[in-house]
Structure 1
Amino acid sequence: MSRIHPRIPLGASLAGTSRRAFLTAGGVAALTLAVGCTGGTAEPGPRAGTPGEGTPRRGGRLRAAFPGGGANETLDPHLANLFVDVARAKALFDKLADYGADLAPVPRLAAGWEPNATLDTWRVRLRPATFHDGRPVTAEDVLYSFRRIADPARAFRAKAASESIDHAASRVVDPATVEFRLKLPYAEFPNVLAAFGAYIVPAGADSFERPVGSGPFVFGSFKPGSSLLLRRNDGYWDGAPHLDELEFVIAGEESARTNALLGGQVEYAHELNPATARVHEGGGRITVLRLRNSAMQGFVMKTDRPPFDDRRVRQAFCLIADRRELVDGALSGAGEVGNDLFGKGCRYYAASLPQRTQDLVRARALLREAGAEGLTVTLDTAPAATGFVEAAGIFKEQAAKAGVTVQVRIGNKDTYWKDILTAGTLASYRSGAMPIESHVSQRLLTGSTTNATRWRDRDFDELYRQIQSTPDEASRTALYERMQRRLHDEGGFLIWGFADWIVATANRVRGVATNAPANTLDWARFDKVWLG
């Protein structure tokens, strides 16, 4: 099965609560999104198509091949875990917001949002929209959805995001306005509205055999582990899709998806590996599309145990890495080099920091200062993501040039993500796109439950809280840069690259967005696609 790695929901986990009056001017205005100013939707990005054939055509069925989850698949959007789950949920349901190309939230069902002065209460205004059965989408549906997601007895993906909300104190203001009260100030609360899996369902909905959503397509038929057939929603608030029908078909192996596309059985194939893309790119039979900066690739060093409890050893390992060689060798060149910081191309990314490059002389000196000459370490990896085993082998050879012996240990791909949270000291790591704030809150705070580097620093925690209490975006940006400078100098992430996400289509497919990474609004979005 193809999973979004690592299996981590978006959003922050906060504690405490209070209530304040609303302000709509001054510093708080920088956090306000109103439909009158923004139009309420994301600006359309570049979409694939042949010059001269850019006018959308209505009609036809598009068949999209994805890896699947077997006979136990569900259409419950709050249980979405696989890529195909998310693509199907996106077709049937809507969120209040979703992530734009820079991972900043943009309104969807929400027409806008505004916080109070202390950023611990947010009002969200809904746009006019209806569910597939004709019922209007209301604030009651929104509260029901988020309270369902927060159910402690359920394993919903967006649960961690919803933990910032005081669900008992949140309330319906009127049918088109919901007031979310939070447990602490949270300047980036709109990230929760856009969180992975935070779809809005009708109040009371708990069975999804024939799901009713507000999305661009309406349920037709479903065979778990095989196919889902959907029809155009002519009343969709963001404009009816061009396609008459959309069918998701399951093809677990990458070769099966590619062959189905080449043979005309499908028009869209999700997740090609770089080698396959190289073979077919420019060949004329299919169109290969690359979504840049879709997956962070790197290694995690556990900062609470030897040898990586010494900052100099962590710095040395970052200087050992030849990032271009890793991208070229492990990803077949399908990506960009990293700089030991998450979120390249994202809002708040500290692009001004100098690019780190290989410096074996300095690496040796740092190891010598740390008393770690002749160091031997075990690097855990597994075939759990593209390029993991290959990158481990390449880094082993690079480390040898600095006098470091790396012993590569290949683990169980099915338990790998759980295993590396607690075991070992050095491991291969990958993450899909998410906001930098979500990466910090989920992986780098003392209380973060998926803290693979074991980074724990009270001053760093306090800096995060300061950021979330700061209304002014320019001030927050400066604080995020300060945070990232600290991580670049001392952190446990060795981020050597950002991989392309590769999909392919039949040549007659038009309108597939190419400007946004996976996990964002325009990824796997079929309501703007048409057949030429």
Structure 2
Amino acid sequence: MQTHPQDESTRRPSSPDRFPGLRRRGFLAATGAAALAPLTLAGCGSGPDTDTGAGKGDGTPKRGGRLRAAFAGGGASETLDPHLANLFADVARAKALFDKLADYGADLSARPRLAEKWEPGKNLDRWQVTLRRATFHDGSPVTAKDVLYSYRRIADPKQAFRAKASLEPVDLDASRATGERTVEFVLKRPTAEFPNILAAFGAYIVPENATEFDRKPIGSGPFRFVSFAPGRSALFRRHDDYWEGAPHLDELEFVVANEESARVNALLGGQVEYAHELDPTTARAHEGRGRIEIVRLRNSAMQAFCMKTDRPPFDDERVRQAFFLIADRQELVDGALSGAGEIGNDLFGKGYEYYAEGLPQRTQDLGRARALLRQAGAENLKVTLDTSAVATGFTEAAGIFRDQARRAGVTVDVRTGSEDSYWSDILDGGTLCCYRSGAMPLEAHLSQRLLTDSSTNATKWRHQDFDALYQQAQSTRDKSERAAVYARMQRRLHREGGFLVWAFADWIIGTTPKLAGVETDAPANTLDWARFDKVWLG
């Protein structure tokens, strides 16, 4: 295990006692399959200003200061192990300390990070990855051995690391270092979208043999570790030798504020410069008032009703089509999301790479819905809709859809489940449920949720010919030809799938007016989420 150099400061991260409101409970966990969302910030924290730049006023980055960012936390379960990161706070801290080989751009396509380039073999079942010249915080270079160690650690069958499922196509026993900065990855099958694996959530690179992360973690990210108190705070300092250039900030401090009201009050009171995860009603109350800058990250979370296609009544595609036509999507956006989103079209990934933009937008048609239900012998249909307060807008959406369905002659019984067990309860149980997902590549959505053997196949969509199309896409080298296969798959899902996608919600963060460098054009889970190294204090 590599050691960490002595910290230059004896200062400890701030205690929550400095922020009385931050001790409240009310944590909202990351929900669904990858419901993480984006943030990018800068602020007006304490500390010396070592630059004469003009700051936010003219867009010139200004160096110095400490940025304080408030997140909901997970108490004693919080960790700095990047392979275990699952909560928003965990992931933001991991991104500050560590790097991945790739990350997702605004359209959810893979962009090089520690990997300088990747090149496929003839059959797409071998890929050569070349690393850029980068160093860990202790000065040692990032090498091919570190990459293979990191991926093999993630794939350990005895562990439950976040990126394990994403690495499943890789034969790590056969993969090898072909040089200090080159790795040959051997795959179990042709994988045209292999770069998505390099960018997978949680696929961070750590030093070879590293096992201890909460006391003195060593990464190659833009910030170096100073201290960490799980459930309370963490303090990091600028890594001057970061391969992409040193951050503008001197220090980055994460503080825990479990209730949204506590995060907002800390922001208003000048105790933090950034507050993660605000409700749409809060955003509307403060937007344009001058005290808080509201940042809306569009297309960040798919909002849907999930129909189980393997059981009555949704094993009849006419019933599924009727439900597509029952939904008034704009009413759902306005009522359940307070307008903070845009309508969906029963497909995942609006605005992302490979999304089928050309399909007609589905609208409410109660007459046609009733006709389809009559054809299916389901004129007086009764169905239970499972929901929970586990995610913003779920209970409201359930009530609104219940009323919409009534106008089509369908009785919907809303059943509210436990926040703690909702996601596991609805994966296999029930027939209809509220569902949410954060951003991920379209290919990952297809492979993780819509293949016969997908581990999170909540709609129970199991069709061998559909599976074959996915494999065809992965075996197709030409990108335009591959896109045509994805379009064919989406046309079928739009016609007869089990996801009634009614919206794509904004992710909302709040900052002080002095916070500069915030990226607003990328959705959740992308490279520009949590880019604390690119922001500054005005």
TM-score by length of structure 2 reads: 0.91
Q: Which residue of 2 aligns with 1:153?
A: 158
Q: Which residue of 2 aligns with 1:25?
A: none
Q: Which residue of 2 aligns with 1:168?
A: 173
Give the secondary structure class of the aligned counterpart of 1:314: helix
Q: Are 1:499 and 2:505 counterparts?
A: yes
Q: Quote the sequence identity (%).
A: 72
Q: Which residue of 2 aligns with 1:31?
A: none
After TM superposition, the structure 1 = structure 2 runs for residues 44-123 of structure 1, keeping only pairs within 5 Å, are 52-123=57-128
Q: Separation in 2 of the partners of 1:2 and 1:125?
A: 39
**Offset at residue 512 of structure 1 (A):** 1.1
Q: Are 1:201 and 2:206 counterparts?
A: yes
- Give 2:337's match in structure 1, choosing from 324, 328, 331: 331
After TM superposition, the structure 1 = structure 2 runs for residues 260-279 of structure 1, keeping only pairs within 5 Å, are 260-279=266-285
Q: Are 1:237 and 2:263 counterparts?
A: no
**Offset at residue 9 of structure 1 (A):** 9.8
Give the secondary structure class of the aligned counterpart of 1:305: coil
- 1:4/1:432 contact within 8 Å kept: no
Q: 1:171 to 1:377 in 2, by over 3 A?
A: same
Q: Deviations over 1:251-286 (max 9, x none)?
A: 000000000000000000000000000000000001
After TM superposition, the structure 1 = structure 2 runs for residues 260-409 of structure 1, keeping only pairs within 5 Å, are 260-409=266-415
- 1:8/1:157 contact within 8 Å kept: no
Q: Separation in 1 of the partners of 2:266 and 2:399?
A: 33
- 2:55/2:61 contact within 8 Å kept: no
Q: Separation in 2 of the partners of 1:284 and 1:273?
A: 18
Q: Which residue of 2 aligns with 1:5?
A: 31
Q: Are 1:455 and 2:461 counterparts?
A: yes
Q: 1:46 to 1:273 in 2, by over 3 A?
A: closer
Q: Separation in 1 of the partners of 2:41 and 2:162?
A: 30
**Offset at residue 8 of structure 1 (A):** 4.9
TM-score by length of structure 1 reads: 0.92
* Partner amino acid, structure 1, of 2:208: A
- RMSD over aligned CA atoms reads 1.5
* Partner amino acid, structure 1, of 2:247: P
**Offset at residue 7 of structure 1 (A):** 3.8
- 1:9/1:195 contact within 8 Å kept: no
Q: Which residue of 2 aligns with 1:423?
A: 429
* Partner amino acid, structure 1, of 2:66: R
Q: Deviations over 1:284-324 (max 9, x none)?
A: 00100000000000100000000000000000000000000
Give the secondary structure class of the aligned counterpart of 1:229: strand
- 2:192/2:475 contact within 8 Å kept: yes
Q: Separation in 2 of the partners of 1:298 and 1:458?
A: 24
Q: Separation in 2 of the partners of 1:113 and 1:4?
A: 31
Q: Deviations over 1:410-430 (max 9, x none)?
A: 000110000001110000000
Give the secondary structure class of the aligned counterpart of 2:58: coil
Q: Separation in 1 of the partners of 2:258 and 2:416?
A: 23
Q: Deviations over 1:195-245 (max 9, x none)?
A: 000000000001112100000000011111000000000000001000000
Q: 1:105 to 1:79 in 2, by over 3 A?
A: same
Give the secondary structure class of the aligned counterpart of 1:77: coil
Q: Deviations over 1:123-146 (max 9, x none)?
A: 100000000000000000000000
- 2:55/2:537 contact within 8 Å kept: no
Give the secondary structure class of the aligned counterpart of 2:427: helix
- 1:291/1:514 contact within 8 Å kept: yes
Q: Which residue of 2 aligns with 1:414?
A: 420
Q: 1:51 to 1:143 in 2, by over 3 A?
A: closer
Give the secondary structure class of the aligned counterpart of 1:76: coil
**Offset at residue 93 of structure 1 (A):** 0.1
* Structure 1 unmatched ranges of 5 or more: 11-44
- 1:2/1:83 contact within 8 Å kept: no
**Offset at residue 51 of structure 1 (A):** 7.4
- 1:214/1:236 contact within 8 Å kept: yes
Q: Separation in 1 of the partners of 2:344 and 2:35?
A: 23
Give the secondary structure class of the aligned counterpart of 1:168: strand
After TM superposition, the structure 1 = structure 2 runs for residues 483-494 of structure 1, keeping only pairs within 5 Å, are 483-494=489-500
Q: 1:47 to 1:67 in 2, by over 3 A?
A: closer
- 1:68/1:225 contact within 8 Å kept: yes
**Offset at residue 518 of structure 1 (A):** 1.3
**Offset at residue 46 of structure 1 (A):** 12
* Structure 2 unmatched ranges of 5 or more: 1-26, 44-53
Q: Separation in 1 of the partners of 2:55 and 2:528?
A: 19
* Partner amino acid, structure 2, of 1:4: A
Q: 1:73 to 1:47 in 2, by over 3 A?
A: closer
**Offset at residue 47 of structure 1 (A):** 10
Q: Which residue of 1 aligns with 2:140?
A: 135
Number of residue pairs matched?
498
- 1:260/1:266 contact within 8 Å kept: yes
- 2:385/2:415 contact within 8 Å kept: yes
- 1:2/1:82 contact within 8 Å kept: no
Query: Larger relative contact order (C-alpha < 8 A, sep ≥ 6)?
Result: 2
Q: Which residue of 2 aligns with 1:249?
A: 255
Q: Separation in 2 of the partners of 1:524 and 1:415?
A: 28
Give the secondary structure class of the aligned counterpart of 1:496: strand
Q: Separation in 2 of the partners of 1:8 and 1:167?
A: 24
**Offset at residue 2 of structure 1 (A):** 3.0
* Partner amino acid, structure 2, of 1:471: R
Q: Separation in 2 of the partners of 1:8 and 1:220?
A: 29
- 2:35/2:436 contact within 8 Å kept: no
Q: Separation in 1 of the partners of 2:263 and 2:145?
A: 41
**Offset at residue 460 of structure 1 (A):** 0.0
- 2:166/2:197 contact within 8 Å kept: yes
- 2:29/2:87 contact within 8 Å kept: yes
